[in-house]
Each structure stands twice: as C-alpha cells, then as structure tokens.
C-alpha cells in the first residue's frame, strides 16, 4: 500500500539518488562534514530541545547527522535577520527544527507579508516563493533549489489563461495559488484549498455569473463544483501526488485497519473524496486531527504531513500510506544551509507581472477570514467543462 514516487533527483554533486536517501541521515552526515560542521558539545546544547519535537520520526542514532546543519542554519538566520517559511510537506527536521512559520500556502503567504525579517527562505516549492515575493517585494526571497517545481504550476501558462479568457469573455477567473506569477497575473482572484469553495461562490456572485473559470486543477475544480453548485470551467492540471490515490486504496485501508478515519486532500480524485470520512486542505486536516483526536487515522496526502501532524498529536495512531512529492523533497537541510550561506537562489518577478498577480492575491486576502472550509464527503461526482 505505501508507495513512494521515485523521481530522478540529483545530488548537489551531480550524481543521481533516490529521494529517500537524499533525506537520509547518512546523506545529512556527509553533507554536514563536507561543510565543516560537526556534532560538538555546543551543537548538542543548542539542539537537544529541538530533538524532542522530531524524536517520533528521527531515531536518536541519526540525530547527530542533522543537528550540526540545524544549529548552523539557525545561527545564520539570527545573523542575517532571516526567517524560514516551512510548508506542511517539509520533512520534520526542517518543519520543526528550522521553520519559523509553518503551515499551508495561504498561512505562509500571510506570514511573508507580515514578517519584519528582510530575508525569507521558502522551504516549499517555487510558486510559494513567488507568492512570498509578490506580497513582500522589498524583501529578498530565496528558494533553496530552483528545481522545486509543481506539476500543477507547470501545467498552465499565462498565455493559456489569456486564450481561455478570450474563449469565455466576462466569466471570472479563479486561480489556485499553485500557479506561476504569470498565471496569477491573468486572473481575477486566487484561491487555496482552504478557501476554494468560498472564493468560487464569491466570484460567481460578484460577477453575477452562473459559471466560473477555475484553474488549473481538474480534481479540485470537480470537488468544488460538487460543494457549491456553481458551474465550473477548468483545465487538465493535476497534482502528481494526490492523483495517485484511489477509492480502492480506501477500501483496502478500511479492511486492514477497522475503524480507521480516512482524511483526504481536495486535490484527490472525486471518488476518493466521496469515500473519505473528511476532506479539506492541509490546515483543515491538521485541525481535524487536533480537535477530534481519532484513535487511528490516515491522511491521503503527501508523506511528511502525517509525520508533522503526529508531532502535535502523539496520542493518535497514524496509518501511513502516502505519496511523496519529489519537488518538495528537493528542499533539504543542506540546500537550506547553502541558500543562506551563499544567498541563493533569489526569486525575482517582473514588476508589471508582480503588480497584476498581487491584485488577484489581494482579492482573495480581502475576503472575510474564515476557518479553513472542509469539503463534505460522500457527494456524487459533478462534471466540469475542461478547456
């Protein structure tokens, strides 16, 4: 049942490696050694308290490999007035030990806009770093690995959106934040998986339209259509992590783990959403676990999410079939260390694109702040028009 996407990743030395080993303790040990870092008494004193938050996923024998990088990164953050925005899909040693702000893309975007720090390191993928730069143009935003992309963001361009708008004049364009700045710049309003249904309803009402263009995630669009009753025109983008879950997976899980509570992310196919017990954004999934404390739970989303929620809910038993996002996993402690040490890779956006993209994000942020909205499960599938 447990599956890992084996994507061809490359080490900093140019050799190829498996995403599991790039994050392994031996890789970190080697990486720390090559950077002249060691597990000294001083490092131990600085990091012992951090280990408490990751001991459920990092064996004690492996901690001396991670701790020197963590201590060095935290020192550089202090010296350079930097913060690290850590997405929920980061591995736990990044999420808990060097992340200053943690959460989903909406939470991180808000933090980027509000932080006093002049330097932001995005522990996430490229579109998230662009979103930070759009909202905080006066700050330096670094992405530790320029190759940290996203199958959804890569599925559509600004030119595609212009063509779609020409085909459907007057229909509002709602764009998922998992897109490039170019695509956001062509949109009326952005959304995240936390507020997608609310934004689509708002757009339909504000434009007085019975249809909304929602880009680029086909499954999120179908899932929102089932929740809202708004007719949706969408695109054939898919998250390569969530599209792999199936309703059969859920049936197998229920058989193998009687009583397990199944939580799904709305980038999953509609039949998965229908078969789950609860569905919502990563923020909604985390809240569900923390508020309801199910005895046994499975999160149908990226692998690190369960590890990170488990850190805050040690009493909950997590069943962990998952799919790994090879893009998120390009962000490692060593890549973050190098980004801070060498001030790379700076994210820049042409000003005219940034200003237009910000308008779409601001339109989303100006809507009343509400709790991440969950998706009702058990719904019959609703067709959307795919461009």
Binding site for ligand SF4 (CB under 6 A): 125, 150-152, 178, 239-241, 302, 325, 327-328
Nearest-approach distance from CB 128 to ligand SF4, in angstroms: 8
Alpha carbon dihedral 209, 211, 216, 221, in 10-degree steps, equals 120
The residue written with tokens 């595609």 in the block is 160
Are 212 and 196 spatial neighbours (Cβ–Cβ below 8 Å)? no
Closer to ligand SF4 by CB, 244 or 344: give it: 244
Q: Shortest distance, CB of residue 133 to ligand SF4, whole angstroms?
A: 17
Compare residues 132 and 178 and give the one whose CB is closer to ligand SF4. 178
Residue 125 CB, shortest distance to ligand SF4, in Å, is 5
Closer Cβ to ligand SF4, 130 or 240, answer by number: 240
Contacts (Cβ under 8 Å, ≥6 apart) of 132 = 85, 108, 109, 112, 120, 122, 139, 141, 347
As measured in angstroms, the least distance from the Cβ of 240 to ligand SF4 is 5
- Give the H or E element holding residue 299: strand 296-300
Shortest Cβ 242–ligand SF4 spacing (Å): 6
Nearer to ligand SF4, 97 or 331 (CB): 331
The C-alpha angle 176, 152, 239, rounded to 5 degrees, equals 105
Q: In terms of CB distance, is 137 or 149 closer to ligand SF4? A: 149
Does residue 221 have a cis bond before it (omega within 30 degrees)? no
In the complex, least distance from residue 213 CB atom to ligand SF4, rounded to whole angstroms: 19
Residue closer to ligand SF4 (CB basis): 305 or 353: 305
Query: Cβ of residue 118: shortest distance to ligand SF4, in angstroms?
Result: 26
Q: Helices (DSSP H) in the chain: which residue ranges?
A: 19-22, 25-34, 41-54, 63-80, 92-95, 105-114, 126-135, 158-167, 181-185, 196-206, 218-228, 247-256, 270-275, 282-292, 303-312, 333-342, 351-365
Pairing mode of beta strands 16-17, 9-10: antiparallel
CA-angle at 381, arms to 378 and 385, nearest 5°? 155
User: Of 74 and 223, which has the nearer Cβ to ligand SF4?
Assistant: 223
* CB-CB contact of 183 with 237 (8 Å): no
Look at residues 219, 247, 255 and name the one whose alpha carbon lies nearest to residue 234.
219
Q: Do 65 and 323 form a contact (C-beta atoms < 8 A)?
A: no
When the beta carbons of 219 and 318 are compared against ligand SF4, the nearer one is 219
- Min separation Cβ 286 and ligand SF4, Å: 16
Least distance between ligand SF4 and beta carbon 206 (Å): 27
Nearest approach, Cβ of residue 178 and ligand SF4 (Å):
5
Rounded to the nearest angstrom, the gap between the alpha carbon of residue 172 and the centroid of all alpha carbons in its chain is 25
Please, which residue, 90 or 328, has the CB nearer to ligand SF4? 328
- Written as six digits, the tokens of 332 are 């490692």
| C-beta closer to ligand SF4: residue 85 or 325 | 325
The SS3 assignment for 234 reads strand
Give the count of alpha carbons within 13 A of 358, CB side only.
15
């Amino acid at each position: 049942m447990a599956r890992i996407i084996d994507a061809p990743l490359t080490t900093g030395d140019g050799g190829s490696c498996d995403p599991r080993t790039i994050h392994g303790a031996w890789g970190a040990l080697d990486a720390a050694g090559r950077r002249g870092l060691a597990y000294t008494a001083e490092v131990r004193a600085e990091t012992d308290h951090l280990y408490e938050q990751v001991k459920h996923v990092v064996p004690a024998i492996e901690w001396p490999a991670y701790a020197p990088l963590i201590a060095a990164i935290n020192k550089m953050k202090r010296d350079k007035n930097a913060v690290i925005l850590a997405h929920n899909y980061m591995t736990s040693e990044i999420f808990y030990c060097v992340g200053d702000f943690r959460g989903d893309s909406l939470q991180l975007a808000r933090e980027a806009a509000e932080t006093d720090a002049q330097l932001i390191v995005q522990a996430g993928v490229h579109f998230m770093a662009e979103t930070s730069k759009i909202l905080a143009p006066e700050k330096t935003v670094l992405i530790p690995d320029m190759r940290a992309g996203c199958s959804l963001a890569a599925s559509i361009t600004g030119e595609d959106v212009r063509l779609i708008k020409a085909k459907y004049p007057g229909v509002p364009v709602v764009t998922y934040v998992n897109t490039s700045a170019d695509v956001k710049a062509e949109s009326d309003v952005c959304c995240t998986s936390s507020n997608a249904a609310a934004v689509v309803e708002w757009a339909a009402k504000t434009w007085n339209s019975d249809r909304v263009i929602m880009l680029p995630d086909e499954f999120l669009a179908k899932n929102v259509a089932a929740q809202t009753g708004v007719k949706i025109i969408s695109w054939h983008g898919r998250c390569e992590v969530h599209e792999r879950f199936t309703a059969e997976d859920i049936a197998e899980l229920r058989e193998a783990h009687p009583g397990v509570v199944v939580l799904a992310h709305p980038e999953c196919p509609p039949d998965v959403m229908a078969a789950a017990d609860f569905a919502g954004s990563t923020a909604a999934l985390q809240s569900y676990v923390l508020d309801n404390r199910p005895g046994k739970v499975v999160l149908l989303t990226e692998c690190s999410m369960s590890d990170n929620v488990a850190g805050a809910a040690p009493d909950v038993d997590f069943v962990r079939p998952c799919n790994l996002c090879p893009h998120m996993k390009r962000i490692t402690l060593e890549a973050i260390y190098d980004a801070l040490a060498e001030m790379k890779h700076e994210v820049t956006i042409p000003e005219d694109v940034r200003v237009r993209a910000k308008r779409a994000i601001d339109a989303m942020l100006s809507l009343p702040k509400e709790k991440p909205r969950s998706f009702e499960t058990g719904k019959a599938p609703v067709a959307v028009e795919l461009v």
